[in-house]
Chain A
Amino acid sequence: MTNYSRRRVLKGTLAGAAVTVGLPLLDCQLNGNGDALASGDALPVAFGNWYQGLGLNPGMWIPKKVGAGFENNIQLKVLDPYRSKMNIFSGMRYFLDGRPHETHTSTVEIAMTGAVFASIDKIGPSLDHKIADVIGNRTRFRSINTSLDGSRRSLSRRSGTASSPAEPVPANLYKQLFGPEFQDPNAAEFSPDPSVMARRSVLSHVTDQRKSLMAELDTSDRTRLDEYFTAIREIEQQLDLQMQKPVAMPACSKPSEMTDTQVGSLVSDVQKNAKLLARLTAHALACGQTRIFNVTTGSQGWRFEGNPRGWHVTTHEESLDPVLGYQKTVFKFLTAANETFADFIGALDGFKEGSGTLLDRTLVLWQTDHGDARTHTIEDIPIMTLGGAGGRIKTGMHVRSAGEPCCRVGLTVQQALGVPISAWGDRSNQTSRTVTEIMGNV
């Protein structure tokens, strides 16, 4: 029977065309903690893209210490509960390469796609789409896009002409996710993907040639080739896994129904809705409905009650407080924004899955457009990641950089999540340098 080639076996399966392989997930297939399959395969990784315009206060977010064991600076103290699960990147910048500086626009384009948009037909997918291509194709929703300011705009786009809309209303998002079409991930029947089956079959042609190849080699080369075939075998095993029913979602539960809330750009509304959207996002991830989420904060228009001036306008108008040395109202906006973000992260980290939390298997990327909104700088841009992506990202680091492109972080995040790229970004924004300090087991 050992001579019976895997390829032939599969061929038999394939001959039956679209077979439905009903393999109920047995308890014994889960490990004791319920956070992974008994085989050791971890729960799937998830990605969150958080975009908040208008930067942070210069001098108030960069930790003094570089490397591990940093202390959060004043403005990011609110993220202290997650400090061991976060990374901060400072000293990176956007490059315009002689193109006009369209404030709040050029840099968003670089952050999301690695390039300043040249023309509508030359706009690449935003990085969440590239990640979704790898991890988002086996879920009910490829991604969920939300906005916090009531607008339907999101920064996620497939191309120049295909930009994803955002859902600002928690009650609507609830209906989409957990309405009648919601499928319990731990129950349904499952049909394997024929393209996976075909890949699996073709790969076995490579392994079938093992014998004739080995025959030509001496001992040391044989050992090396053995390692090669072991590696190939692991790919085959992954494909085998993909032909089985997907991983069970042990922590999945349906959130309680949501009623209508006031949506808009008042900070109090933003914060209220952000909490609800965070809860929905957490449940959606835990129930395997999606592995990607985008949050557009719409921070430009955020307002405080009784003040007609939005955050963005305030950055332009407010003078520096002579004593404090910064713009006072802007600081208040930033504090609110960081609280909102911390709340969102808290919702993920508060969601227990076995011995870990939802945040542990998620990677949230926090990006912004300017280093200092007041002066619209494109240098020393704050960037953060939160969550460990199931061990793919090491956390607890402050990485200080040499004015390198912000795309370094985008590249690292994409690589960590399995996007097959070696470089990312356009012209001077391009980099092939991964932030190796934070690369985990990819």
Chain B
Amino acid sequence: MRWWKAVLLVSASLAAVSAGPARAETRSYVVTMFWHALETRDDDCPNGINPKIEVQYQKDLELLGYSKGEAAELIKQDGERGEDSNRGWETDKLGHILIDRARVGGKPVNAFMHPYATIDPVLITKTGKYAHGFNLDGKADAPGNFQNPDTKETGIDHQLARVFGCFENMRGTLKAGSAFWLYKWSSIKETMPAWTISVTGADLSKDGPVTISVGEAMEAVRYNGNGVGRPNMTYRQDPDPAFAKNVYEGEIKGGHIKITKPGSLYMEQDPLLFPVFSMEKFNADLRINPDGSLIGLIGGYQPIKEIYFAVASPSLESESNYAIDFPGMYYSLRKNADYNYDAKMQSNRNISAAYQIMAVPAHVAPATRNTVTN
């Protein structure tokens, strides 16, 4: 991105503003918290949750052709190594077998990179009636739809809840989050470029139509000592044109900021979480708190490829990935994808998803000439 593009963009957006309402005002926010919007119940994994990882590995090894006894011995040996940060990768026998368990042309390849070349271990997915999210397809009661546990709204599209819903460390509630997502977020939030939300309307103190734009900042979110985002910091807008399209019609109504006309979203994040975070039919419903901060859901149809690599790319080496058989999860994603059918893949490419976010008021300023961009 060269600076002149930024200048063009700034002038373009200025033109857009001047064409709008005479006395438009803009209020901006920065996203300070992010996790998968799951609402697990005791009865939503009737066949039990996915087993502990050593049980799963036993199964994976057997699928690879190891005998019960051989597999058990490999797992036992690995357990005896304990959790020692000094243990060498070179001697991690089980790790090598599991990571290279995909087969391409009969040769072992990295299963995390080539999950489609592994044998489907058929992981357990969530059932149940409730999930948070949006009615993305407009159908009030299609098969597989959920109901919002709080508002009782029906027709909620959130198939990602099925995929993630029966792993112990991913299970959680909208309010408390889950260990997996909280870990992911806390390990990147201090360094990832912040996400910004700007709301423009004639009078933001009243209900009415607004324009909502989502962008990315040049800097990370600043947090206060209590772990809550520091309000009113200034963030520079990343002038990358890819983000400039994230503009939606919306409204302020009854203390909520909502997108009324969903569109496409393209965002980037720290590779540890989502290298690319994109959605079709991007929706948002954010409640305005008394202190001016926001809390609520975003959702849409997300490419399963992006989700898979977001969670699986750290392979076995990330401490967040101890508990889940990610190559196996690939199949769950594919089986539950519900949008954008690809005949070649013989499955959908996107899956309905929803995430919980929080945001605090911020100043969002255009990047200047001196700003170094990539």
Q: A103 within 8 Å of B by Cβ?
A: yes
Other-chain residue from A151, A380, A404 in contact with B84 (beta carbon distance below 8 A): A151
A327 to B172, CA, bound (A): 12
A313 touches B322 (CB 8 A): yes
In the complex, the chain A residue whose C-beta lies closest to that of B171 is: A319
Q: A100 within 8 Å of B by Cβ?
A: yes
Chain B: interface size category: 35 or more
Report whether over half of chain A's contact residues are helix, strand or loop; otherwise say mixed. Answer: loop
B226 touches A403 (CB 8 A): yes
Residues 79-100 of B at the A interface (beta carbon under 8 Å) = 79, 82-84, 86
Residues of A contacting B227 with CB < 8 Å?
A: 93, 371, 377-380
Q: B187 within 8 Å of A by Cβ?
A: yes
Residues of A contacting B187 with CB < 8 Å?
A: 101, 103, 376
Q: A357 within 8 Å of B by Cβ?
A: no
Q: A310 within 8 Å of B by Cβ?
A: yes
Fill in one digit per residue for A155-193: 1 if any B CB lies within 8 Å of its CB, else 0.
000000000000000000000000000000000000000
Residues 277-311 of A at the B interface (beta carbon under 8 Å) = 300-301, 308-310
Other-chain residue from A151, A312, A319, A402 in contact with B319 (beta carbon distance below 8 A): A312
Smallest distance from the beta carbon of B74 to chain A beta carbons, Å?
Answer: 14
A368 to B190, CA, bound (A): 20
B179 touches A374 (CB 8 A): yes
Residues of A contacting B82 with CB < 8 Å?
A: 265, 301, 310
Residues of A contacting B64 with CB < 8 Å?
A: none
Residues 173-217 of B at the A interface (beta carbon under 8 Å) = 173, 176-180, 182-183, 185-191
Evaluate whether A98 and B190 lie within 8 angstroms (CB atoms) in the complex, with A308-B54, A320-B172, A403-B225 already known: yes
Q: B278 within 8 Å of A by Cβ?
A: no
Residues of B contacting A325 with CB < 8 Å?
A: 176
Fill in one digit per residue for B278-307: 1 if any A CB lies within 8 Å of its CB, else 0.
000000000000000000000000000000
Q: B153 within 8 Å of A by Cβ?
A: no
Q: B18 within 8 Å of A by Cβ?
A: no
Q: A197 within 8 Å of B by Cβ?
A: no
Fill in one digit per residue for B225-239: 1 if any A CB lies within 8 Å of its CB, else 0.
111000000000000
Other-chain residue from A91, A93, A316, A327 in contact with B320 (beta carbon distance below 8 A): A316
Smallest distance from the beta carbon of A322 to chain B beta carbons, Å?
Answer: 7
A315 to B319, CA, bound (A): 10
Smallest distance from the beta carbon of A400 to chain B beta carbons, Å?
Answer: 11
Q: B267 within 8 Å of A by Cβ?
A: no
B190 touches A96 (CB 8 A): yes
Task: List the interface of chain B (C-beta within 8 A of A).
Answer: 40, 42, 52, 54, 79, 82-84, 86, 168-169, 171-173, 176-180, 182-183, 185-191, 220, 223-227, 319-320, 322-323
Pairs of residues from A and B, 3 with the lowest C-beta to C-beta distance, nearest first: A403-B225, A375-B182, A379-B227
List 26 A–B pairs whose Cβ atoms lie within 8 Å, in order of A's numbering. Answer: A91-B225, A92-B225, A96-B190, A98-B191, A98-B220, A99-B191, A100-B191, A101-B187, A103-B319, A153-B86, A300-B83, A315-B179, A316-B179, A316-B180, A316-B323, A317-B169, A317-B322, A319-B40, A327-B179, A374-B183, A375-B177, A375-B185, A375-B186, A378-B227, A380-B226, A404-B225
Task: List the interface of chain A (C-beta within 8 A of B).
Answer: 91-93, 96, 98-101, 103-104, 151, 153, 265, 300-301, 308-310, 312-313, 315-320, 322, 325, 327, 371, 374-380, 401-404
